[in-house]
Structure formats: C-alpha cells, structure tokens
Structure 1
Amino acid sequence: MSDSLFLDSIKPLFADISERFSGESQFDAAGAWSELVATGFLRLMLPEQDEGAGLDVTEGLPVLMAAGYCALPLPYAETALLYAAQPTLAADDQALAVGLSTTAGRAKALRQDLPYLQALLLDTAGGAERAAVSDSDSGNWTLQGIPSPCETTINLQLLGTAAECLQLAGALQRVLELTVDYANTRQQFGRPIGKYQALQQQISVMTGHCHSAVMAAQLAASGMQRSDTGLSLDHHRVAAACGMIKAACQPVVSTAHAVHGAIGVTEEYELHHYTRRLLAGRVAGGSESRWFEQVGQACLDSDASVFDFTLASLS
C-alpha cells in the first residue's frame, strides 16, 4: 500500500473497525459508521466549498484501496465515490451503496456483505432513484417509504462496480502479504516452504496478478474525473480496469489456499475473510467477462486498429 498523510490517518480506524466486526458477536455498525463520519474522510473527494478535501480519485485511491486491504465491513468506498459523483448526497452523511434490483419492497445492494446501509441508489427506467433501506436479510434490504428521484446522470452500475473493484485491489494486496509471510514462516523438512521452487513459481504468478490489479486500479481512478459538479466516468478505462481486477481474484484465491493448506479456512486465521470477499466481489456487478466484452465490442465498433484503440482509450 502506498503511504500518504490521509492513508496514515484513516487506516488505523479501518483496521480497528474490522477487528471489532470479526471479533464481536454484536457489532455496533451504526456506531462504527458514526466514527467514520466524524473523521470527515467521507468527504475526501468533495470540493472545498462542500467541506471536502478537494482530492481527485487518483489522489484518494490509497484510502479507497485501504478499505479493502483492511476488510472494512462498511460501505466507505461506495459512499465516498457516490458523494463525489453527486455532492448533494453528502448533506446527511448517510451510508450509501448502489442497488441492483427491486422486488416487492426489497432491494439488493451490488455488494452483498454489508451489515449496515441507510440508502441505496437504484437505476430505473425513469432515471436514478434514492431509496431508504433497513433490515437486511441475506443481502435483501427492506425499502422504507417511496424512492425519490436522484439528479445524477452517472452510470451507477459502473460506478458501484468500480468502487467494489478498488477495494478488491486492496484485498488482493493483503492476501499476497499473508501468503508470502506464511511461506517464509512455515517450515517443512527443515526449511521454509517458500524456499521450494514449485511454491516460488506459484507465488511469483500470484504476485503478477496482484500487481496488475493495482495498476488496473490506477487506470480506473484515472478514468474517474472529478469536478465541482461531480464525477465523469471514462467507460472504457473503468470497464477494462474492473475486468482486470476481477480476473485476478480467482487465481490469487486458489494459490493462497494452496500455499496455506488447511489453516487457510480456519476461523482463527484471517485469510478466509479476504478470499470469500474476493470471490463474492468478482461476480458483484458482473464478472470479468462482462466488462471485457464491453471493451472488446467498443474496439470492434471503432474504425481504429486494436493498438490505436488501446493507445487512445486505455492508456
């Protein structure tokens, strides 16, 4: 993880909240959200006139990735990016996320493992709507009242998927650290298992996937331009980045558990908290094939060569 003043300030709170979530049977999600609100970090990418820090997404990327690195169980990244996309949403400091569907007074969030939400932003035929929610049951949130129109033209599904993928990139870094540390510590036949060439090869490939995910996160951030009126998304860049990050999840999870063996699934060890999140996040909003298909179709529809399209749209 990159060092920055903002990252050093908020990362200990992320880690503390995550530790409480995994260690307490009665986790106070509302209280933890209030702690995040009090830091002011939800307004990191809002302009200064809206009591924000005025950072663009590239500058705020280390903090967004840190939410995934620390396995933060709250919608920090989703809310911060939605506030940046539509500054008026920040008026009441609510916990927000992008919704996927609505049926019979219930709605699903794009990210399924959230213990706390106050409202969902939904794509509808008539435009975006904001729906207050409560009482999650297996990822289904109960709608409170009638959804109200939300004045935003941003692609909510792409934004929600990008928020998830930036956190997945951070989670991939943590899984890599755990795996390398375990390989250098666990001994077999008198020496660390990380000294064996077969494992070195697997971890080397795993490292490549994790580093490519970080570069993809940087590409996604560069495709999310902030202005005083909100965010604009470069669809090709963000979609390609989401595909790259999602494509890294399965091979990284497989290698991590192969290296760790049985200890990787024990309750006391933290690896499974990250790998379950990676597998769930890979399909949230569509797997890598959905986003690669969109970029590939855009390339086919253009008059440019693959090289020229890539240079113009993805670099």
Structure 2
Amino acid sequence: MTSPLRPIAQCAALAAFLASGAAHADTGKLVLTGGVSSITGSAGGGITPWAVIGTQATEGEWGFSAYGTRAGTQDYALSSYGAAIGWQDRVELSLARQDFDAAPAFALNGIAPFGVAPGQHIKMDVLGLKVKLLGDAILDADTWVPQVALGLEHKQVRPGSLQSVLDFLGTKTSGTDLYLSATKLLLDKSLLLNTTLRYTNANQNGLLGFGSAAPGKNSRSLQPEFSIAYLLRHNLAVGAEYRFKPNNLQVLGAAAGLGTALREDDWKDLFIAWAPSKNVSLTLAWVDLGRIVPGVTRDKRQTGYYLSAQVAF
C-alpha cells in the first residue's frame, strides 16, 4: 500500500531540485508571512488562498515551492501535491494535483445503474495564477492598507467511472474560479487577517464538477472565505478558516426524490503551522467539511485531520 506521506516526500525532493538551479531566492521573507500551500496549490491557509505570494522570493527574485497534503475524514480521503513559482513577490503560478478517495460513491449504484467501480478515485488538476494588485503585507504592516491580489484557479476533473453520475447531475468536468483576496498583517499584534471573495460554480471545490442541470443552480455565485492566524512566536502560528460553499445540487436532488442527499455544506478548520526553518513549514489541522453527498454516508458530517508539508526557496 502506498504511504499517505509519499506525496509529501516527493514534493520535498522536487523543491530541493528546483532550488539547486542558478536562479532562486536567497534573501526571503519573514517566516510564515508567505502563508502555506492550500489544497489547490496557491499560497494561503489550508482551504482558502490569501493575497500573499508564495515562495521566499522578494523584489527582483524568482522563488520556488512545493508541497504535499493528506486529509482524512470518516468516509473520505484526499491527497494533494504540487509546486509554485513566484516572481518578484508579485506573481504566483501554481500547479496542483488532487486524488480524492470516493469509495462511498459505490452506494450510488443502489439508486440507479451508474456503474460506479468499487474504490473509485476522483482526480483533479488545478492551474492557479495570482497577481498582487496593491499593498504589501510587511511594508504596510503599520498602515490600514491590506495586500490585495486577484487570482484564478482553472480545474480539470477526471471522475473515472463516476462520469455517468456527473452526466446525470448535468455538471461539467472543467471550470474556472476567480477570487479577490485581501490580507492584513498586524505585526504589533502578531495577527494576520484574510478575506477572500470567490466567484464559482464548483461543487465540492470541483471534485463533483461544475454547475448543475435544472432545477439546480448552474450559474456562478460569490462565496466569501475568511482566515485568521495568530503568531505564538516567530515560527509558530495558530488559526482558523471558514469557507462558504455554493449548494448547487441539492435542489436537483430533491426534485429527483433524493431529499438532501446532494447537499453541500461550508468548510472550516482549526490549524497550527510550524516552520522549523526558513524553508520548511508543517501544518496540522482539524477540519470540518460538513456533509459530502450525505445520501451515501448516512448524513454524517465529515470531520478529521489535515496534514501538509511545504518547502520554499
């Protein structure tokens, strides 16, 4: 059996290789002020992007980072890994791959002959781009001005034998989220605040496709996301995140006689992030992902752990 920590080790090796090149950042930022890698690869918290640009690159520099993440709940598991490039602390380009263990979806065959294979996994690639528009989290720490960034995440889903289910739901297998993030660092209070506004029609972050057949919601909507982090010391932070989610599929499910079987809930987490060195950070979190296709998981809330490792240069 493949170890759940294998993606983390692979990404650490990748980042070390990238850093061995001639062009990389050798000055860097204050520890943890560049955030960590979110599950979609962009710099931020675990489940939401921030306005900060990842890697250790500052003005005039290129930077590289890589990460591996494993999350597990009562019924599901997610592995995610990827890498990012930062340029002059202004532009971030990221690429992430997610592998979602959707084994409970086999129960959908009891509703209709979907042909879902036992132990089915859903895979998704995420290409991210983030551009800083104004402000500087460090240099403007003593003013009211936040750092603001505009970003996009283009997602491509490979659902395997769950394609028939997505066809029934009328969801697309690719889509693009747009978001605007504002991050405010209050150094004198050891506090970081972030607000993100996401324009999306993704179901479960895209793992269940994008949009819905009528009478579900197919159009995009604005969904807010919030993060707060407190620095216990220069290399140790605790915090929390809350991410509102669109609930595109529930009305469709109700019309098909499934009640709330397709309901989508908001996500939240409590995390601790530790940087044992300037280039390495480790994040451990308790996550509450609400009900994910509660019709096949006996309406259980999906709570569990989130573990991530990042190396940045």
Q: With the length of structure 1 as denominator, give the TM-score of the two structures.
A: 0.23
Structure with more of its chain in strand, by fraction: 2
TM-score by length of 2: 0.23
